[in-house]
Copies of this chain bind each other. A is one copy, B any other.
Amino acid sequence: MALLKGNAVVGQAGGPTAVINQSLVGVIQEVQKYDHITHLLGARHGVAGIMDEDFVDLKRQPTEMLEVVAYTPASALGSTRHKPKGEDFERILEAFQKHDVRYFFYIGGNDSAMAAQIINKMAQEAKYELRTIHIPKTIDNDLLATDHCPGYGSAAKFVASAFIGDNLDNRALPGIKINILMGRDAGFITAASILARQREDDGPHLIYVPERSFHPEKFVQDVERVVGDFGRCLVAVSEGIRDENGDLWAKILSSQMKNRTGLSEGAQKDDFGHFQLSGTGVLADYLAGVVTEGLAQNKKLRVRADTYGYLQRSYPSCSEVDAWEARLVGQMAVSYSLDTDQDGSVALVRLPGTTYACGTHLVPLEAVAPPEPPLTKSLPDEFLSEEGNYIKDQFLVYAGPLVGNLPKVGWFEQVSTGEPYGKPVPRRVL
């Protein structure tokens, strides 16, 4: 079958990640190898750039520059939260036809895969030949059909690194420290905090994720137990924790705050109707208040709470494995567009064996953006403790290789010489 010739569009959508430009550069470098794509048009701000015909030709970028861009966090082409509607899709197809676009590479999450799917169907109906390949990215790690998502490993590495530092800080000045982490529906990012543990008494000592309902009274009891064991307590909490009715605690609290104070919620809905969680400190403040009143005041313990916020996706450092895999899915998207006349989404497949290795395959767009729920993946039950307040060791096998090396830390009790002063600190088993 003759190779489809023409131009290609590549775009980036949704929340940026530390490695989303790796995927972009993967597409560019692979396109540079072949002649079937004349111009590789980078659409600025995703579908918005396609509708506005706001393109940059990416095919003739020098390698040196590409390597710098690849390691630059956030979407180099700009991103968008715009959810295309009826007329938008017609406008997109028009732009594709006008610019002889025959290949569409869209780097994004499940919303982007759904948009790509709709555009692709419209092209089919219009008998306009178009190859549509979705390239997965999301720090939340909640996309279906792929073993894990490019972008997750770097966010997980940031969280694990931050907890290494926070655990040492909490050990130096013992108290109760609560960190609110990203994850509206899935606990993968929050679970990554457990990768920080190197000693038996290291935090996080408690981990709460959206997959289990959160009860403030039980939370205080949990903290009390840990404080009894270690004299301190480091806690990881997903922004997406819910009460027993499935209502978001952050939303409940923001509404209460608004009703009682007349102040703004400090929280907005995005274009997809998602209630905005990040960037509001109300959950952190509430949990700090609950534990102060329920426990810490009597024990004269310090209570502090942080919300890590956007740093989790934007801090300029990445997991090398994540960077490599994000590059790979970009390259493979172009590769699949050559080999088959199928559209689809590039999925990572973990190869069996004790050493970590990942390959890719192409799955149908419906597999990552299905018409019916569940639209996303949750943290599997096998990773959650019975009480729902901790993460099991199996998770380390799953997530450890995606994060890679973490900062090495040292302490003195390990090498205490003993005589006459060096008494080692007693260790306790968690």
Q: Report which A residues bind B (CB closer than 8 A).
A: 12, 15-16, 18, 39, 41-42, 45, 54-58, 60-62, 65-66, 68-69, 71-81, 161-162, 164-166, 168-169, 171-173, 177, 256-257, 260-261, 263-266, 268, 270, 276, 278-282, 284-286, 288-290, 292-293, 302-311, 313-317, 407-417, 419-423
Contacts and interface: CB of A to CB of B under 8 A. Distances in A.
A60 B418 CA distance: 10
A302 to B, nearest CB: 7
Contacts of A172: 12, 16, 45, 74-76, 78-79
| CB-based closest 5 A-B pairs | A281-B281, A264-B289, A68-B410, A306-B309, A74-B168
A316 B39 CA distance: 43
Contact of A256 (B75, B261, B290, B415): B261
Given A162-B315, A280-B288, A306-B310, 17 more contacts: A12-B172, A41-B421, A54-B423, A57-B420, A65-B415, A68-B408, A74-B165, A76-B172, A78-B171, A79-B172, A264-B285, A270-B302, A279-B304, A311-B311, A316-B407, A317-B317, A317-B407
A302 B264 CA distance: 14
B423 A56 contact: yes
A268 B412 contact: no
A306 B285 contact: no
A317 B409 CA distance: 11
A316 B414 contact: no
Contact of A65 (B65, B305, B410, B421): B410
Contacts of A309: 304, 306-308
A413 B285 contact: no
A421 B49 CA distance: 12
Nearest to A53: B421
Given A16-B169, A162-B315, A261-B256, A58 B279 contact: no
Given A58-B412, A261-B256, A285-B281, A266 B305 contact: yes
A189 to B, nearest CB: 15
A288 B254 CA distance: 13
A292 B264 contact: yes
